[in-house]
Structure 1
Amino acid sequence: MSIIRPFDPTDVLKFNAVNADAWTATYHTGYYASYAAQWPDFCVTVTDTHDDIKAYMISKHEPPPPDTQHHGHLTALSIIPTFRSLGLARTLMTILERLSSPEGVDAWFVDLFVRCNNTRAIEMYEKLGYSVYRRVVDYYHGMEGEGSSRDELDGFDMRKSMPKDTTGKYVRANGRDILVTPDQVWA
C-alpha cells in the first residue's frame, strides 16, 4: 500500500534510496525546502505504511498569471526501483496536471526536462500525452563527467497542453528537431 502525503522538508534526510538512481538529479537541501514552502500543494511524497519514502514529486507553477506562458513545471519525480511500474508516476503526474488545470492555477501547459537518453522516462511521458517541444543542448552540462555523450548532456523539454491551450500553441510535433541552448530556455 502506498500513501501520498505532502512533501516535508525533512524528507530529504530520508530519501537516499530514492535518489540513488543515476537518472535522478539531486539538489541541495534548501532547494527542496524552498519548493515545499512556495508550492506546498505541488510537492508530494509517497511512502509505504512504515513511512519509508518510496517516491516523491517536486513541482511548481511559474511564472504567476497573467503571464502568457504561465505553466506547471515538474522539477523532479523519482521512484525507488522496487516501486516502479506500479502507476505511481502516472498518479503523481495526474496530481500535477489537476493542479495546473482550470480548477487549479489554470496554466497553459505542463512541462518537464528529461535526459535525451532516458528512453524509459521519455516513453512513459509520451504515453501520458507529453511530446518533445525542443531539445536543449548541454542542458545537463556540469552534471556528467568528461566524455559524456550528446544524449547524456542534452535534455528534452517535454510538454502537455492544458485545456486553456485550445490551439496547441505550447506544443509542437517536430520538437526533436528544434535545438536551443539553456540560456534561450530561460530568456
Structure 2
Amino acid sequence: MSTVRPMRVNDLFHISSTNLDPLTETYNVSFYLEYLTKWPDLCRVIEGMDGQIEGYILGKLESSPYPSPVTPWTPSTNPDPNYLPWHGHITALTVAPSARRLGHASRLTESLEQQSDAANAWFVDLYVRASNEIAKELYRKMGYSVYRRVVDYYNDGEDAFDMRKSLGRDKNKECVREGGEETRVRPEDVW
C-alpha cells in the first residue's frame, strides 16, 4: 500500500524517476525549495512500500496580486472576469510510469483539495496542455472542468486549458463554467 505524506527536502534526490514523462515539467531545485518553504502543506509525495517515491504534487494558495474589484469579493458581484480570488493551484502533478493507474494522481489531488478547502479557498485550478487528452480526462473524472482556454500559454505555442474544481466556499459553483473551451484569453490576461 502506498502512502501520501508531506514532501521533505531529501525527497528531491529521489523524484527524478517520476519526471520521465515528456509532458512532466522538471524544475530546478530552487523552485521546489520555494514551494516547500512557502506551501509545505500543499507539497506531497506518494511513497511505495519499498520507500520509493511513486509520485508528487506541488501546489500553492494564491490570489490575484492586485486588490479585489469589490469587497467582499463574491463570484456574483465580480466585475473583472480575470480576477482570481483566493484559491488553490496545482503547479505540478506527476506519477512515475511504473505506478500509473493505481489512483495515485487522485489521492495526491484530493490531499491538495482538502488543504485548500481548509484554507477557505474558492476553488482549485491547474493548467493542462490542450493536447493532453489523458490528463484532461483524468481531471474531468475528478470533477474538474475547463474554465477557459489560454491561447499560446506554453513556450512552444500550445494552448492550455485552465481547469477548475469548486470547493466548499463556492456553494453555488459560480467559479466554474460549462463550455470553457470556447472562452479564449491571452496569457497576460490570466495574471
TMscore range, shorter length: 0.7 to 0.9
In structure 2, distance between residues paired with 1:34 and 1:132: 28
Query: Does the 8 Å CA contact 2:122/2:169 hold for their aligned counterparts?
Result: yes
In structure 1, distance between residues paired with 2:130 and 2:8: 30
Which secondary structure state, in structure 1, belongs to the residue aligned with residue 126 of structure 2? strand
Instruction: Give 1:123's aligned amino acid.
Output: E
Q: Deviations over 1:50-91 (max 9, x none)?
A: 321110000111139x96410011000000112111111111
Residue in 2 aligned with 1:92? 108
Equivalences, count: 174
Residue in 1 aligned with 2:41? 41
Identity over the aligned pairs, expressed in percent?
A: 44
Gaps of 5+ in 1: 145-149
Residue in 2 aligned with 1:147? none
Report the CA distance between 1:37 and its aligned residue: 0.8
Which secondary structure state, in structure 2, belongs to the residue aligned with residue 74 of structure 1? strand
The counterpart of 1:122, out of the listed 122, 136, 155, is 136
Matched, 1:107 2:121: yes
The counterpart of 1:174, out of the listed 174, 179, 182, is 179
Q: Deviations over 1:92-140 (max 9, x none)?
A: 1111111122xx1011111000001110110010011100000111111
* TM-score (norm. length: structure 2): 0.86
Residue in 1 aligned with 2:76? none
Residue in 1 aligned with 2:149? 135
Report the CA distance between 1:10 and its aligned residue: 2.8
* TM-score (norm. length: structure 1): 0.87
Report the CA distance between 1:6 and its aligned residue: 1.2
In structure 2, distance between residues paired with 1:99 and 1:14: 24
Gaps of 5+ in 2: 74-84
Q: Deviations over 1:125-163 (max 9, x none)?
A: 00111000001111111xx4xxxxx6xx11100001112
Matched, 1:165 2:170: yes
Query: Does the 8 Å CA contact 2:46/2:56 hold for their aligned counterparts?
Result: yes
Report the CA distance between 1:3 and its aligned residue: 2.3
